[in-house]
Structure 1
Amino acid sequence: MEVEKERKPRVLCLHGFRTSGKILQKSMEKLPERLVQKLDLVFLDGPFPAQGKSAVEPIFDPPYYEWFQANQDFTDFINFEECVAYIEDYMVKNGPFDGFLGFSQGGFVSAALPGMQSQGVALGKVEKIKFVIVIGGGKFGAKKFGVPKLASNAFSKPIHIPSLHFIGDEDFMKDEGIALLDAFVDPFVIRHSEGHTVPRLDEDDDGFNTMLSFIHKIQSIPSNVPHKT
């Protein structure tokens, strides 16, 4: 009798500001393979070519992309609606997906999408988002940033889906990430000593066990992806 394979939740991954899906995919290699291989990760490039210098130029080759633009004090957002429509279109054509993983700018978008979906202003053509993983991201309207109009009610009610949050002690987005925790019910939190990056997790770290527990939880949720026999 054949043993049934462990189900891998299918995750759409949104990269950081002026980077790319390929760069996030490479960065995810810093996490233990034993954990990452439990997820079916799909990496998407942002809809807009980078409109300025990328902070990762000394490390990673172009091209670089961004999800949306904003003015200098982040009170006026540009192309945010187009960004959300682009993500939904990709999900319709390439889905279904169970959840999101987002880093930095992609983390802000990922964190807002479940609330936007429940409010009926986004992702109406795709299945309900079951979970989010946010690395170095945060909450629109919390500290340094305003709120895109489309996301104005994204956090008006507690979000009742599993969420995993990576918060770095030296991350300049630390306060934004901490503010996001209150938006989700019973969030899983991994605190690490690094900065604005995907951190390294050793198998003897508390963070390893936290991420493993989170993965077990989302594996227990009925998937949006049809089971293959």
Structure 2
Amino acid sequence: MAVKDCGGHKGGGCECHRRRLYRKCCGALLALLLLALFVILIVYLVLRPHKPRFYLQDLAVLCLNVTPPTSAYLFTTMQATVAARNPNDRVGVYYDEADMYAQYKGVAITVPTRLPVAYQGHRDQSVWSPYLRSMDSVVLPPVLAVALAQDETAGYVLVDVKVDGFVRWKVGTWISGHYHLRVNCPALIRVNEGKGSYGATTGGGPDYFRFQQAAACAVDV
């Protein structure tokens, strides 16, 4: 059986074999490169999506009452209207186990209210308007009770509407794990047209507490 020596033959069978092998190797490397780029793109979209944007549209305060030093119990009922928008073109957002509540100087003044589970498609928006209540279970530290009463008397009270929960990202049919969502929406409340208890009106009413201006919220995911 004769063995072909390719060493000195140009255009021989071995040369063709090497070219075919070279093309196959290049094709395999190109396919691996494209696959790696695709995986990197998917990972980027999943792990680095744009976080949702939240806006506090309204805060209707129906009652806000604390009477230190007689009592540090806080009685309040308010309705917050918060809008959330998904700014992503190719990533959906699931909102899971999200609670909304109000804070004053870092202390919760309402109990958490669970928001409905929601899914936002690309560039979609959701609006929630839950009632936030103290439910007779909020006791402020004496110093904060005095500070809140003083702010209300002075005519302006600054509270923070908070959203705390978890989100998941959706790319195609793939859904990520849970990511912690923290939202802070500052809200300046004007009391009795800024006159507080020094004004002519001292008993509340539909316009006694008025939310000043809608604003964007700080979002951390």
- For the aligned pair, the TM-score class normalised by the smaller chain equals under 0.3
Larger strand percent:
2
* TM-score, normalised relative to structure 2: 0.23
Larger helix percent:
1
Name the larger-Rg structure: 2
* TM-score, normalised relative to structure 1: 0.23
